[in-house]
Amino acid sequence: MWDGVIIGGGLAGLIAGIRASENGKKILIVSAGVGSLTYASGTLDFGEFSVLLGKENHPFSVMGEETTRQAFEYFLRILPDYDGKWGKKNSVLTPLGELRRSDLTPRFLAAGPLNAAKQIILVAPEAPKDFFPDVFKRNLEKHFPVAHIIVKPLRADGFELHYRQGRSIPGTDYARYWNSKNGIKELQAFLTGLEREIRKGNSDIVSQETDSFKDTVVIFPGLSAGLSYSLQDLLAQVPFPVIETTLFPPSPGGRSLEDNLKRKFKAMGGELLIGCKALRAEIKDGICQSIAVESKGKELNIQARSFVLAGGGILGGGIQVTPYACQEALCNLPLYVPPEWTKEEFIGEQPYARIGVEADFNLNPIDDQGNVLLKNTYICGRMLAHWDPWTEHCGGGVSLASGYLAGGKI
Amino acid sequence: MIEYTAQAVIVGGGATGVGILRDLSMRGISVILFELGDLAHGTSSRFHGLLHSGARYAVKDPASAAECAQENAILKKIAPNCIDDCGGWFVQTEDDDSVYTEKWLIKCQEAGISVREIPVAEAYAKEPLLKRKAVRIFEVPDAAVDGFKLVWANAKSAKRYGGEYKTYHQVERLLRDGDRIIGVSGRISGTGEGFVAHSNIVINAAGAWAPHLVGTVGISLEILCDKGALLAFNQRLFQRVINHLRQPGDGDIFVPHETITILGTTSEFVDSPEENRPTVDEVYKLLSQGEELLPEIQYHRVIRAFAGVRPLYQEEEDDRSEEKRASLANINKAVIENDVYVKAGDEVKVGDEGREVSRNFAIIDHKFEQGVEGLLSIAGGKFTTYRLMAEKASDWVACQLGNQTPCRTAIESLQPEISPDLYQQALKLLPWGAADKMLERLGSEAAIVLGEIQADPRKGQMLCECELVSVAEVQHAVIDKDAHCLSDVRRKTRLGMGTCQGAFCSYRAFPLLGQNREKYAPLREELRNFLNQRWKGIRPVLWGQQLRETELTRAIYSDLLRF
């Protein structure tokens, strides 16, 4: 008998698992896939928090400010390599070189140093998949009209064969290389060379006085250094600021966050069952007794005292939609289904995104009268109704806060 | 004001229009075509892409069936690069009437359509997804045809013969001098610049838009707008065309196209050709009908719905009068006297459903109908017979101009042959499937694309991973002078038409659009328009995997990129 079984290995599920394990509970995470974190950029956003807090039924308003804030602080405690201060936003670069706001960001992602930069050097690793230095540079020029912007190409030894064959290199592959032994060595040589160029100047780069390197900022996309000790050490030795950008999925930032959370969870004794789909739940007297899980071609019956539904809503597969019905896939809980499904304009609000299970302040699922339907089951992240991470820009925030809250209830 | 002069002007850049453009150009007649949008943006691309064997019409419309049978064979010869000769089956299920099957077999024979019965067990082995309710199965020479490719192949062939086409040129009125039409005038979309074209003859090949054009000189032309909705599935569910062997109805044809399958079609009269938005009701109708052939249809991923408007020609009620019949006979007679055979849309039945109207075509010389000379309208018909319609219209034009050159469109291939060297080069630089598809789309122009890849191997990367289109090919389409927006690029390359519906590939087109900023709208606007256009077809099929894909697309554009 587990203390808690969590369905879903994304951000909410992992946070719930880590917190409950920290409390000494025996936790199993069952996940049909690998979660959606690699699609995300690795930053955690809370949107216009005060506005969302005032929105009736919004998960932030259901959980309350105190809980959300505690979750924020908790995240910084378990991942101190993230930057963030409650109520204060950082700017980060989008994959196209524009700016957006965020709340919790991996170290080296905050774009603040660019504001004071007189010279911005954009390092452009050769043949990057889904990263366009020209477009990026044009957008930088718009946002930082005063700065002199230089694109500095970089060919990595480790990918020579790829280049010759004309193959592009995904950001996740570059990140893995920069974090490898050879990659770090090459990176070090490159940055030393760059330092020399900045000191002396060349046809593109304006020479800087030795003690005012701060005028120059280097953008290095896809290092994913925020959670890597060896890269942090390396960048700490460089005399000019190096910042990163968020990247198009699959993103190294998201993957690095996922890897770290999984490691933490396992280190605390948690167990992960990935690639195993939860099929159905056995429910008696308002209590979820056990779930059936598909594992290596056979069914496992898993019992637990508590359950967390963190299956990622529509994108994650925890909510299934056919032409004829919408269903919460495991416990068949009633769903809030918006009366209107879509809007004519694609970009922006889409009502269907607010589909989900309604929950009380404990995250227990409730019916339309507010009665608790399952006393030992908690609803997290995208399984919750009444929010839209893509227009409210609060995906990471809601998943973090609800995972934190559910983890504490187990 | 831009001025053009030609012997003939064609209005409408669908299959019929470009077919006439090619035919007349090959006869040495100077001709210019105006199209209000991009070529093939209307009905010629908004259909199931079935190259009819004629079998579907055998019982109801024997004349059409026979025409289809002939044209099917011709097009397979002249346009193999646009056609997947996958064959087709007619499936009689246990719910269908065997008397109809017997009648159908006789009619197919009469129309010259070859039919071969396939043992049911063999059929299930070849098409494992087919519903286990088949009683008898027959093979016919149906095929899949790519409307975009065929239209562009005609336009490009015409160009090699000196024919001209102008896209985004909206013809606003016919120019009239007494009883003669002497040209057209209009406006270029976007810039708003005016143009005028002087010609001896104007051919109205505007399809569902045809009545509007002749309406500008007070001529009424009765075209029924028959909307047909279709579903596109994300994989090749069947290896060949699958027809339901029964009275033709809704949702009874599956046509495989490259990596997808199209299920069609519904039929509903609408007021205007602009009403081409598929509705949720039509989607449900198609699903329930399609289920007759494909079990558990709702679990197969639908990537989008789309709809086209068939221009069905219908004579007006009072056309049925003896007097009008006589005048109709006169048209035929008059033209036949000139040694040209023009077929008029005979046998018109009026019913509630578009299927009751003949799919035959009509060529209307407005001299006999309304006393206006130099104006020909071509109406009705279907994609499979576009070449025949073009031939007949061109015969009429040639006759008017005293040109004696015979039609050669039935014998001359649409695309110059691809040299073995070019083929080998393509295979060296691109994966097999991608190389093949590119050669089909571009023909000898592929040499330019391959040259780009040779010079910079990075351009051999697949920009569109769903449809296997290289960076270099998209770039080639982006800089093409006929491309003015991302949707134009899509029609030439299939960009955004696969499973991701633009989520990844439209992003990857950014740097290419960025390099050609003078031609395109700012990136955000270009992308918004493109995604909205894709969204139109996704909205009514928003469930299952496509809904998950849509959430990913929103995550990327609304959240990550902050569009």
The pLDDT tens digits of the residues spanning B109-164 come to 999 999 999 999 999 999 999 999 999 999 999 999 999 999 999 999 999 999 99
CB atoms within 10 A of CB B85: 14
* Cβ within 8 Å, pair A345-B532: yes
Residue B369: predicted pLDDT: 78
CA dihedral of residues B218, B224, B227, B228 (deg, nearest 10): -130
Query: Do A116 and A240 meet the contact criterion of CB atoms below 8 Å apart?
Result: no
Nearest to B56 by CA among B185, B242, B194: B242
CA distances from B109 to B50, B54, B73, B561 (A): 20, 11, 16, 60
Q: Does B531 touch chain A (CB under 8 A)?
A: yes
Lowest mean pLDDT of A366-375, B228-237, B514-523, name the range: B514-523
Quote the CA–CA distance of B9 and B23 in Å, as a whole number: 13
In angstroms, what separates the C-alpha of B132 from chain A's closest C-alpha? Answer: 23
CB atoms within 10 A of CB B63: 15
In angstroms, what separates the C-alpha of A6 from chain B's closest C-alpha? Answer: 22
Question: Taking every pair of C-alpha atoms in chain A, what is the biggest distance, in angstroms?
Answer: 76
* Cβ within 8 Å, pair B531-A347: yes
Closest partner CB to A134 (pick from B457, B507, B511)? B511
Mutate to test the interface with A, among B554, B556, B557, B563 (most CBs of A within 10 A): B554
Instruction: Please report which confidence band the pLDDT of residue A203 belongs to, taking 50, 70 and 90 as the band edges.
Output: confident
Sorted by sequence, the CB contacts under 8 Å of residue B256 that are 6+ apart come out as B84, B86, B144, B236, B237, B238, B239, B240, B241, B262
Per residue in B269-319, pLDDT (tens digit) is 999 999 999 999 999 999 999 999 999 999 999 999 999 999 988 665 444
Per residue in B422-460, pLDDT (tens digit) is 999 999 999 998 999 999 899 889 999 999 999 999 999
The complex's ipTM?
0.96
Residues of B in contact with A135 (CB under 8 A): 510-511, 514, 523
Q: Does B459 touch chain A (CB under 8 A)?
A: yes
Per residue in B204-213, pLDDT (tens digit) is 999 999 999 9
Sorted by sequence, the CB contacts under 8 Å of residue A142 that are 6+ apart come out as none
Quote the CA–CA distance of B11 and A403 in Å, as a whole number: 62
Query: Do B108 and B60 meet the contact criterion of CB atoms below 8 Å apart?
Result: no
* Tokens 């499979």 -> residue: B384
* Cβ within 8 Å, pair A166-B459: yes
Sorted by sequence, the CB contacts under 8 Å of residue B463 that are 6+ apart come out as B469, B470, B471, B473, B474, B495, B505, B508, B509
B475, two tokens:
């770039």
Query: Do A330 and A363 meet the contact criterion of CB atoms below 8 Å apart?
Result: no
Residue B18: predicted pLDDT: 98
Mutate to test the interface with A, among B515, B535, B560 (most CBs of A within 10 A): B560
Residue A204: predicted pLDDT: 81
Query: Do A277 and A32 meet the contact criterion of CB atoms below 8 Å apart?
Result: yes
B299, two tokens:
């679990």
Percent of chain A with pLDDT over 90: 89
Q: Is residue A68 pLDDT above 70, yes or no?
A: yes
Per residue in B54-80, pLDDT (tens digit) is 999 999 999 999 999 999 999 999 999
Q: Is residue B346 pLDDT above 50, yes or no?
A: no
Chain B residue with minimal CA distance to A347? B558
Tell me, rounded to whole angstroms, the distance of Cα B522 from its chain centroid: 30
CA distances from B444 to B84, B153, B420 (A): 19, 11, 11
The stretch A380-406 carries a mean pLDDT of: 98
* Cβ within 8 Å, pair B453-A323: no
Chain B residue with minimal CA distance to A126? B458
Lowest mean pLDDT of A260-264, A306-310, A391-395, B218-222, name the range: B218-222
Quote the CA–CA distance of A124 and B163 in Å, as a whole number: 46
Residue B177: predicted pLDDT: 94
Alpha helices in A220-320 (DSSP H): 229-237, 252-267, 313-316
The stretch A72-92 carries a mean pLDDT of: 96
Quote the CA–CA distance of A213 and A20 in Å, as a whole number: 46
Quote the CA–CA distance of A245 and A221 in Å, as a whole number: 5
Size of interface A-B (CB pairs under 8 A): 112
Quote the CA–CA distance of A8 and A387 in Å, as a whole number: 19
Per residue in A153-175, pLDDT (tens digit) is 999 999 999 999 889 999 999 99
Residues of A in contact with B554 (CB under 8 A): 346-347, 350, 353, 390
Per residue in B46-56, pLDDT (tens digit) is 999 999 999 99
Instruction: Please report which confidence band the pLDDT of residue B176 belongs to, taking 50, 70 and 90 as the band edges.
Output: very high
Query: Do B18 and B155 meet the contact criterion of CB atoms below 8 Å apart?
Result: yes
Name the 3-class secondary structure at A408. helix
Mean pLDDT over the full length of chain B: 90
B181, two tokens:
């039409």
Residue A185: predicted pLDDT: 96
Q: Using only the alpha carbons of chain B, give its radius of gyration.
A: 23
Helix or strand (DSSP H, E) at B548? helix B544-554
Tell me, rounded to whole angstroms, the distance of Cα B256 from its chain centroid: 15
Quote the CA–CA distance of B497 and B475 in Å, as a whole number: 17
* Cβ within 8 Å, pair B542-A352: yes
Mutate to test the interface with B, among A101, A340, A346, A350 (most CBs of B within 10 A): A346
Mutate to test the interface with B, among A103, A162, A345, A347 (most CBs of B within 10 A): A347
Chain A residue with minimal CA distance to B277? A344
Query: Do B154 and B16 meet the contact criterion of CB atoms below 8 Å apart?
Result: no
Q: Does B522 touch chain A (CB under 8 A)?
A: no
Residue B349: predicted pLDDT: 31
Instruction: Please report which confidence band the pLDDT of residue A211 belongs to, taking 50, 70 and 90 as the band edges.
Output: low
Residue B259: predicted pLDDT: 86
Instruction: Please report which confidence band the pLDDT of residue A149 belongs to, taking 50, 70 and 90 as the band edges.
Output: very high
Quote the CA–CA distance of B137 and A76 in Å, as a whole number: 67
Residue B357: predicted pLDDT: 54
Nearest to A397 by CA among A163, A104, A172, A2: A104
Residue B339: predicted pLDDT: 33
Cβ burial of B172 (10 Å; 0-12, 13-18, 19+) is middle
Q: Does B296 touch chain A (CB under 8 A)?
A: no
* Entry pTM: 0.90
Sorted by sequence, the CB contacts under 8 Å of residue B189 that are 6+ apart come out as B36, B37, B168, B169, B170
Q: Does B82 touch chain A (CB under 8 A)?
A: no
